Structure 1
């Protein structure tokens, strides 16, 4: 008699206009918390990357940077377009063009985001989708060999 293989249910989630990553993460407060967790991870584990940002008196990435990134993430994840309303089009390559973004910096950025998503409990199909999208954007911003 053949053995029936029991596989876990598939979570091949793909975003739609009615089911966005922004919604899946839990909305505005959850996305802001992800942005803060990202910079907390960067401050703790990626000091060379953190030093490329404006720092506060305690040597941590400052509140303004955290706020702008949170606003950007909201829109990028399919939520309100507060970043564009306040700061215009993100123009990511232009805004990062003055920084040397090589493989090491790309990877440090991705590790910080992965730690943030771990901290926030992002899993399953949403995690796979975000891991892929964040990797694409981080690679797109590379402007230096190595």
Structure 2
């Protein structure tokens, strides 16, 4: 698949995926599965430690972000402004291992929630571009 023709910081799937994925209820299931994966996978231990013990607030933010990113309601931007993902994550050392652990958890979450294979693959390509751009540590 060709790279998206938009800046990596704003890389998002074409509009319409929000509805095709199942709207906010499906996004919420994906986020819940993502954090279950993060808790369960030894290779995700470092990225899990970047979060507090109570995941409820960060889950809510990720749901809002992904809903908007997928073409749904713009609640994230209304509440938090521009995503500025790199700035918001600058305090956390993110190298290739952290990127890969994040991507592994997201792929497993999409598999667990039975996201359509073609849509999953397209999302994972976009997630890779964003996650790779977030790296701020040479490792």
Q: Deviations over 1:25-50 (max 9, x none)?
A: 10011111111111111011122211
Give the greater-gyration-radius structure (CA): 1
Structure 2 unaligned blocks of 5 or more: 1-12
Q: Which residue of 2 aligns with 1:121?
A: 114
Task: Give the whole-Å Cα distance in 2 for the aligned partners of 1:80 and 1:66.
Answer: 17
Where relative contact order (Cα < 8 A, 6+ residues apart) is larger, the structure is 2
TM-score (norm 2): 0.85
Give runs of ≥4 in structure 1 deviating > 2 Å. none
* Cα distance in structure 1, aligned partners of 2:14 and 2:78: 23
Gapped runs of 5+ residues in structure 1? 1-14, 57-61
Q: Cα deviation per residue 1:41-83 (whole Å; 9 max; x = unaligned)? A: 1011122211101113xxxxx1001110111000011111111
Q: State the shift of 1:124 in Å.
A: 2.5
Provide the rounded CA distance (Å) in 1 between the counterparts of 2:118 and 2:107. 14
* Residue 27, structure 1, aligned to residue 20, structure 2: no
Q: Please, what is the CA RMSD of the aligned residues?
A: 1.2
Q: How many residues are matched?
A: 125
- TM-score, length of structure 1 as denominator length: 0.81
Going from structure 1 to structure 2, the CA distance change for 1:121 and 1:100 (only over 3 Å counts) comes to same
Counterparts of 1:1-146 in structure 2, within 5 Å, are 16-17=14-15, 20-45=16-41, 46-56=44-54, 62-146=55-139
Alpha-carbon distance between aligned partners in 2 of 1:74 and 1:67, rounded to the nearest angstrom: 11
